[in-house]
Amino acid sequence: MVVKIRLSRFGNKHSPFYNIVVAQARSARDSKPLEVIGTFNPIPQKPTNLSEEEARKAKLYKEVTLDRSRAKYWLGVGAQPSDRVWRLLSMVGLVEPKLKFTEEKLKVPQ
């Protein structure tokens, strides 16, 4: 049984909201998962409980909640994260970030 950690989409049209789920690799995106380990809201939110001046200067953020212990468990038993989930897990510090290739590394020597 191949297990993947991936995003499952919820929300209305043009306002997505994702659950971070553990599911079998061959199951559909929105089918019933083995476990829900977190959520991800890709739409930038304004911080709350700030004064008007601080709110204007404040940076927007994308909300991510994650059960670190369960994510660590599933990674330990061999679950493979999708590319987007890999990026989210690397922000939390559970996996090493994937290396980005620069243009210099991609150039073929002549």
Q: Which helix (H) or strand (E) holds 16?
A: strand 15-24
Here the tokens at position 101 are: 């290739």
Whole-prediction pTM value? 0.79
Burial class (CB in 10 A: 0-12, 13-18, 19+), 94: middle
What is the topology classification, in CATH, of domain 3-105?
S16 Ribosomal Protein; Chain: A; (3.30.1320)
Q: Where are the domains of the chain?
A: 3-105
Contacts for 47 with CB less than 8 Å, ≥ 6 apart: 55, 58, 59, 61
Contact by Cβ (8 Å): 74, 22: yes
pLDDT digits (tens, 9 = 90+) for 50-66: 888 887 788 888 889 99
Find tokens 């493979």 and name the residue: 80
Q: Give the C-alpha distances (Å, rounded to integers) separating 73 from 59, 77, 86, 100.
A: 33, 6, 15, 27
| Amino acid 108: pLDDT | 61
Q: What percentage of the chain has pLDDT greater than the value 70?
A: 90
